[in-house]
Amino acid sequence: MIIKIPIENLNLEFIKKFLSSKSIVKISEKKKGKISKARNSLERIIEKGNLVYGVNTGFGALVNKRISKEEIKKLQYNLIVSHALGEGEYFNKDIIRLAIFLRANMLSKGYSGVRVELIDALLNLINKDIIPCVQKKGSVGASGDLSPLAQIGLVLLGKGKVFYKNKILPTKEVFKKEKLKPFVLDIKEGLSLINGTEMMSAFLGYLLIDIEHIFNLAKEISGLTTLLIKGNKKEFDIRLHQLKPYSHQIETAKIIYDYLNLCDFKETALQDPYSIRCQPQIFGSIGETVDFAQKILEIEINSITDNPVIIDNEIFSGGNFMGTSLALAADLLGISITLLSLLSERKIFYLTSGRHPDLPIFLIKEPGINSGLMMPQIISTALASENKILSYPASVTSLPTSANQEDIVSMGMNSLLKLEKIVENTKTILAIEILCISQILRLTELNFKEKPKIVKIIEEKIPYLEEDRELQEILSKIKNLFFWRINSEERNTIN
């Protein structure tokens, strides 16, 4: 498939398709004129001797340092090599590939004053599957994602390392194999490579796809858990939830109610614990946050985040590179997914505690000689507790940078790095809830009118624990069965 940029209305569905494909990306011939027009405007302004930030001045606190005509190209080279400093492990290559696409798409809209050749050079990395190695830590999400985007820019210069044919190799070596030459940056082009929010946007988009999947799966798990403990149907009657009409609350109540109608049973209690009874209300609130974060992402990836920009042949210097919106979205998601993990942990505790009259403690036939699911419950508590710690918002932890010229920053990348850990912890907690469900399905007698897909997968793929055995492999298998991965083989998922 060939994608032509710029695309004006990017959304999460497009990101899903892009991540799962190996499309070739090209600049639309119709748009090259606008890109060149902005470039010509920039060159005329510079020829007149006007000061333009980052073109003939230094950067950040060095804004008042004028750069001579002879040195303005070197300035762009120096910017990339000096800013390409990161820390920690590398991003998933799919996130980096998406970030390159988003930056190229933004530049191709014709507000940055870069040459068509620079955008082509970025697209060449995507089209030849030469993906820069970019470290996760180092961005404060303010003057754009300076550190990670500079590490992408470094590869254009023939430096750094890349993912290439399932290996990590020096860029120089790969360029030689592919007969590519290092790109020579011209005025403003180094700055336009790094002044933007595309690394945070790509990261958030990737995590949102994961979160959407987890959220939908968790609703189904809730329905099955509620059925297995013989929950009170009236708690999930749609007439009740229409009185508090959050869309995700109503949807979750309907899912749980439908599960409760899959079997005939006598309800266990007049009122179930909050972790059962209030599931729709909790899911309703979480869903609102997920929707909000998607809205923020879609505004951001359709925005011009460069600085300065050319509008109607004038130069405008502002702050569209500030990642505050993404930071807040990621922090709110972190809090919401933590809440989801706490809900699941409480259900796991209820299922394994021996409180339910039909269920043995730790969901094992002979407790005492067997510990059953004692340890998985402890693991869920440890991870939920870690999520509580991680859910403290990074967006309120600003520290000044660049000699106080950049005196407030978004810390959006830190918000996203925390969110990534919260998401992974929550997957494990939900997998433990599925493990509990697996045991209960074998310990109780329920006659299904029709078995839902999740039950069929569990009965076919997850072993029953007659007695204690190693659980790590089983838990890993559950995660592999039920959780989404880019470019993975099709999973036996239920949604």
* Residue 111 annotated among the catalytic residues of the structure: no
Q: For a pLDDT cut of 70, what percent of the chain falls above it? A: 96
Residue-wise pLDDT for 449-464, tens only, equals 999 999 999 999 999 9
Selecting among 11, 43, 277, 424, the annotated active-site residue is: 277
Q: What is the DSSP letter of 266?
A: -
Selecting among 274, 316, 392, 448, the annotated active-site residue is: 274
* Residue 387 annotated among the catalytic residues of the structure: no
How large is the average pLDDT for residues 206-231?
96
* Residue 246 annotated among the catalytic residues of the structure: no
* Residue 195 annotated among the catalytic residues of the structure: yes
Kind and range of the H or E run holding 101: helix 93-107
Selecting among 56, 92, 105, 195, the annotated active-site residue is: 195
* Residue 274 annotated among the catalytic residues of the structure: yes
Q: What is the DSSP string of 208-228?
A: HHHHHHHHHHHHHHHHHHHHH
d(CA 387, CA 397): 18
**Please, are residues 362 and 273 in contact by the beta-carbon 8 Å criterion?**
no
How large is the average pLDDT for residues 134-150?
92
Q: What is the DSSP string of 65-86?
A: -B--GGGHHHHHHHHHHHH---
Selecting among 300, 406, 420, 433, the annotated active-site residue is: 406
CA 224 to chain centre: 27
**Please, are residues 326 and 197 in contact by the beta-carbon 8 Å criterion?**
yes
Q: Which residues contact 270 (CB under 8 A, 6 or more apart)?
A: 232
Residue-wise pLDDT for 384-443, tens only, equals 999 999 999 989 988 887 776 777 788 899 999 999 999 999 999 999 999 999 999 999
Secondary-structure breakdown of the chain: helix, strand, coil percentages, each rounded to the nearest 5: 55, 10, 35
d(CA 68, CA 64): 13
Residue-wise pLDDT for 467-489, tens only, equals 999 999 999 999 999 997 654 43
Selecting among 14, 53, 292, 349, the annotated active-site residue is: 53
d(CA 98, CA 200): 11
Selecting among 163, 175, 203, 321, the annotated active-site residue is: 321
Q: Can you give the pTM of this predicted structure?
A: 0.95
Domains of the chain, earliest start first: 2-196 (1.10.275.10), 206-482 (1.20.200.10)
